[in-house]
Amino acid sequence: VENDGTRVFDLRMQAGEKEFREGQRTSTWGFNGDYLGPTLRAERGEKVRVRIHNTLGEASTVHWHGMHLPAAMDGGPHQMVPAGGSWSPRWQVDQPAATLWYHPHPHGATEEHVQRGLAGMFLLDDDTSARLTLPKRYGVDDLPVIVQDVKFDGAQFDRGHRVMQSVGFLGDRTMVNGTLSPYREVTDELIRLRLLNASTARTYDFGFSDDRPFALVGTDGGFLERPASLERVQLSPGERAEIVVRMRVGERTVLRSFSQGSYDKYADAFQRRFGGGDDSFDVLELRAADRLRPSSELPSKLRELEIPDGENAVRARHFDLKRSGINGRKMAMDRVDETVTRGTTETWTVRNNNGMPHNFHVHDVQFRVLEVNGHTPPPELRGPKDTVFLPNGTTMKLAMRFDGPADPDTPYMYHCHLLYHEDQGMMGQFVVV
């Protein structure tokens, strides 16, 4: 902490090696270590500064996914950190408690930089998160769960794409927090899992091996109004969910990603097969101790949402998702696609009829999903969101408010978070003026 109260973090982007499999080393990238990065944490209202030093030997960036902040601090493709260079963004945290994350965003190479291991969580706290009786002992009953799929090839990650795998890279194993076949001993009745899909292309349908229900308490940008009891929650790349699960003495249960075939969310069998929707993985085993610390009941009300309801929207925009580009255009670094007025609310209608799954992420804002194919959204889409999954045949109407500082010269991004698609040009730029 600096004199004026600014909370300072140091992040060093570095190359390394990690023994994921016994006796076999894999070359990796990480922040302040060999793989992934430290969990950063700050409170609403706090000023933060991150001192980034890039020792990777090539240029990259660090983007704060889900964070409301000035465009020049966003860490998108316009804020490159050269090889051997440094960058020190600063901003004031001004949004509700949430599970955010950070990762590189160099145009054309994001998939590779994330796959090599550059990702970490950024948790925000506020008065509500302090007051609510939720599991909140980090690493004890409040666990970060960074889920990635990987494939090994000798001393390297195999990052290749298979023929017909149009979604991008799909691995054949999953890891949690950089660990294969993970399990976790837990000592409390209620366990909160902060799920982050940090995979580059794979969508997961999370649930427990015994189909026990869990409480969904938060989405990308923070708490829901009230907990929702679910048996499955689907997360596409970049999305987060906070869930609370009840454990019984001495038992084991497995957080699993289920095959999505039975849910029929992908319209097309081809994409289920080649887009990974048929796959099923054990993700994380929870092993309850022989004695469990009693937990307080979950509150029935969590918070008032701070996302716009679309009532006073001044403008409606439309985005058509195609692998060849959004609204018929490929990303161009020197072209601004949309100009929005600071302090206004807009509706953005996003449509995917492209015959393959896509998703849609908008920088700087947390939006509300107003409609999914003309219907009221399900509970997992009722909280603050910055990324939504759109399987083929989906149209979503979103409401978002742009209340950051104006900066006509520095764009924010919106894009498909299937990182291969993003790299190939499924991205556009907007400025707030």
**CB neighbour list of residue 70: distance below 8 Å, 6 or more residues apart:** 91, 404, 405, 407, 410
* Site membership for ligand C2O, residue 363 (CB under 6 A): yes
Q: Which residues, numbered 190-209, are part of the site for Cu ion (CB under 5 A)?
A: none
Among 34-42, 95-103, 305-313, 413-421, which window interacts with Cu ion (CB under 5 A)?
413-421
Q: Which residues, numbered 65-124, are part of the site for ligand C2O (CB under 6 A)?
A: 65, 103, 105
415 touches which of Cu ion, ligand C2O, none (CB within 5 to 8 A by kind)? ligand C2O
Closest CB to ligand C2O among residues 36, 247? 36
Amino acid sitting at position 353: N
Q: Which residues, numbered 225-244, are part of the site for ligand C2O (CB under 6 A)?
A: 238
CB of 311 to Cu ion, least distance (A): 26
418 touches which of Cu ion, ligand C2O, none (CB within 5 to 8 A by kind)? Cu ion
Judged by CB under 6 A, the residue of 413, 416, 431, 432 near ligand C2O is 413
Tokens standing for residue 353: 């009829």
202 touches which of Cu ion, ligand C2O, none (CB within 5 to 8 A by kind)? none
Among 84-92, 299-307, 325-333, 411-419, which window interacts with ligand C2O (CB under 6 A)?
411-419
Closest CB to ligand C2O among residues 93, 244? 93
Q: Which residues, numbered 339-358, are part of the site for Cu ion (CB under 5 A)?
A: 358
* Site membership for Cu ion, residue 421 (CB under 5 A): yes
Amino acid sitting at position 309: D
Is there a contact between 253 and 208 (Cβ–Cβ < 8 Å)? yes
Which parts of 159-308 are beta strand (E)? 173-176, 179-180, 183-188, 190-197, 204-208, 214-219, 222-230, 233-235, 240-246, 252-257, 281-293
The helix/strand count (H/E) of the chain reads as 4, 33
Tokens standing for residue 430: 């907007």
Sign of CA dihedral 336, 340, 341, 343: negative
In angstroms, rounded to a whole number, what is the distance separating the alpha carbons of residues 286 and 356?
34
238 touches which of Cu ion, ligand C2O, none (CB within 5 to 8 A by kind)? ligand C2O
Among 6-14, 169-177, 279-287, 412-420, which window interacts with Cu ion (CB under 5 A)?
412-420
- The pattern of x and - marking residues 58 through 77 that bind Cu ion according to CB under 5 A reads -------x------------
Residue 211's nearest CA partner among 173, 258, 175, 243 is 258
In angstroms, rounded to a whole number, what is the distance separating the alpha carbons of residues 180 and 186?
18
Is there a contact between 421 and 389 (Cβ–Cβ < 8 Å)? no
CB of 417 to ligand C2O, least distance (A): 6
Closest CB to ligand C2O among residues 322, 363? 363
Tokens standing for residue 269: 């069998």
Among 50-58, 124-132, 177-185, 410-418, which window interacts with ligand C2O (CB under 6 A)?
410-418
Is there a contact between 261 and 277 (Cβ–Cβ < 8 Å)? yes
CB atoms within 10 A of CB 128: 16
* Site membership for ligand C2O, residue 415 (CB under 6 A): yes
Residue nearest to ligand C2O according to CB distances in the complex: 65
* Site membership for ligand C2O, residue 428 (CB under 6 A): no
CA atoms within 13 A on the CB side of 129: 24
CB of 363 to Cu ion, least distance (A): 5
CB of 175 to Cu ion, least distance (A): 22
Closest CB to Cu ion among residues 15, 72? 72
SS3 of 48-109: EEEEEEECCCCCECCEEECCCCCHHHCCCCCCCECCCCEECCEEECCCCCEEEEEECCCCCC
Judged by CB under 6 A, the residue of 192, 265, 358, 361 near ligand C2O is 361
Pairing label, strands 47-54, 86-87: antiparallel
CA atoms within 13 A on the CB side of 324: 6
146 touches which of Cu ion, ligand C2O, none (CB within 5 to 8 A by kind)? none
* Site membership for ligand C2O, residue 382 (CB under 6 A): no
* Site membership for ligand C2O, residue 194 (CB under 6 A): no
Contact residues for Cu ion (CB under 5 A)? 65, 358, 363, 416, 418, 421
Contact residues for ligand C2O (CB under 6 A)? 63, 65, 103, 105, 238, 361, 363, 413, 415, 417
